[in-house]
Amino acid sequence: MNSSKTPSSSPEASSPESSENGVEGGRRRATINDIARLAGVSKKTVSRVINQSPFVRDETRERIEAVIAEWGYAPDPQARGLAFRRSFLIGMIYDNPNPQYVVNMQLGLLDGMRGSGFELVVHPCNRASPTFLQDVRSFVERQKLFGVVLPPSVSEDERVAKLLNEIGCSYIRIASVELDKPEHMIVGHDRMGAAAAAQHIVGLGHKRIAFISGPESFRSSHERRGGFEDGLAESGLKLTENDIVQGAYTFESGVACGDVLLARTPRPTAIFCGNDEMAAGVLQSARKAGLSVPQDVSVVGFDDFQIAQAVWPPLTTVHTPTREIGKMAAEKLIGVERREPRDMTKTEPSLVVRESSGPVPV
């Protein structure tokens, strides 16, 4: 059994390399003791400077900071974490299947953590696993995580939030609705984006409009549908039961739903899809049916991931600022004070008009 729960390369077991590791290029890294000695103070005072304590005379602080800078000293996060009983690691726990989303979210979190000394540990998971909660718990507890960021759909799992509260781990939930206290939330405002899509479609003169929804289990499915209906309502339009088809946020489900909708008589002249993947699927379906987009039918997506520009015609879609949202989440988690007030418009979705939408056919 090599599935032991501890790293297996131990010193006593067998480590051929360990002997040569002592002889590294360059001199030993400075420690807090070195800095204290060099600055002629106790290590506690150096510690105060590191931790930005106000109880240090300016003169002393400057002297210490000079020594720190001269030696390029950086405190050991491991030792600091051991004493703090809390590491300087941020966990991202997620099950979102879209690579573009995942990568943009990671980049955003890293943006928000830059220069802070924190590092990002990634932790994909499976919410359906019987050991899911136990996995999350042991991940958080073993690493003594400073905090975790939860994108959808993990963010929508109340069991996870409850667990995190119980074990006293800071967390930020990213979701399309306010699911928790404000200090734990970054909200995406999917409704606004979907409403903008509705207005765009209505503005083009469409009346026979269909909606392909994401899966029931995602809050964003409901928000995007709700926002779309809000937008239509402004022009006095509304979706009937029949106008809504249930997809699964996948390309294949988009093809299937497209097949259903495009076979109808009368055919819808515009289809709003819960995400780009499904919109790309509808494009595929239209091609099979010999229909032109947007001449015969307009198609609008949501997310503005790369696929939106790679398909033909390029998709009109709702851009979501995933990376910016990630940045905000990280900043909130680690408690960064911002110079400028937050510009809320930067995290709002916005409509991007491309070539997959056009006037209603005559």
Partner DNA sequence: CTGAAAGCGCTTACAG
For residue 217, report the phi and psi dihedrals to the nearest 5 degrees.
Answer: -75, -10
Give the span between the Cα atoms of 298 and 283, in whole angstroms: 10
43 binds, among a copy of itself, DNA, none (CB under 5 to 8 A by kind): DNA
211-249: buried (b, 16+ CB within 10 Å) or exposed (e) per residue?
A: bbbbeeebbbbbbbbbbbbebbeeeebebeeebebebbb
Using CB under 8 A as the binding rule, whether residue 53 contacts a copy of itself is answered as: yes
Please name the residues in contact with 37: beta carbons below 8 A apart, sequence gap of 6 or more. none
Using CB under 8 A as the binding rule, whether residue 67 contacts a copy of itself is answered as: no
C-beta of 125: minimal distance to a copy of itself in Å? 10
Cβ proximity of 85 and 144 under 8 Å: yes
Q: Token digits for 68?
A: 């720190």
Which x/- pattern over 198-237 shows residues binding a copy of itself (rule: CB under 8 A)?
A: ----------------------------------------
Q: Which residue in 58, 59, 158, 166 binds a copy of itself (CB under 8 A)? A: 166
Q: Which of 351, 301, 337 is nearest to 100 (CA)?
A: 301
First to last CA, the chain: 70
Cβ proximity of 286 and 259 under 8 Å: no
C-beta of 124: minimal distance to DNA in Å? 26
Q: Which residue in 19, 27, 52, 266 binds a copy of itself (CB under 8 A)? A: 52
C-beta of 28: minimal distance to DNA in Å? 7
107 vs 179, beta carbon nearer a copy of itself: 107
Using CB under 8 A as the binding rule, whether residue 357 contacts a copy of itself is answered as: no
Cβ proximity of 151 and 330 under 8 Å: no
As a 3-state breakdown, the chain gives helix, strand, coil percent values, each rounded to 5, of 45, 15, 40
Which residue ranges make up the site for DNA (CB under 7 A)?
A: 10-12, 28-29, 31-33, 40-48, 50-51, 54-57, 59-61, 73, 75-76, 79-80, 82-85
41 binds, among a copy of itself, DNA, none (CB under 5 to 8 A by kind): DNA
Using CB under 8 A as the binding rule, whether residue 334 contacts a copy of itself is answered as: yes
| Residues in 10-49 that interact with a copy of itself by CB under 8 A | 10-13, 17, 20-21, 23-26, 29, 48
Which x/- pattern over 72-101 shows residues binding a copy of itself (rule: CB under 8 A)?
A: --xxxxxx-xx-x--xxx---------xx-
130 binds, among DNA, a copy of itself, none (CB under 5 to 8 A by kind): none
62 vs 216, beta carbon nearer DNA: 62
Cβ proximity of 338 and 121 under 8 Å: no
Using CB under 8 A as the binding rule, whether residue 131 contacts a copy of itself is answered as: no
The footprint of a copy of itself on this chain (CB under 8 A) covers a number of residues equal to 82
Residue 71's identity, in one-letter code, is W
Cβ proximity of 147 and 336 under 8 Å: no
Give the span between the Cα atoms of 103 and 108, in whole angstroms: 9
126 vs 235, beta carbon nearer a copy of itself: 126
58 vs 337, beta carbon nearer a copy of itself: 337
Q: Give, as one character, the DSSP assignment of residue 303.
A: B
C-beta of 49: minimal distance to DNA in Å? 9
| Residues in 276-315 that interact with a copy of itself by CB under 8 A | 280, 283-284, 287, 306-307, 309-312
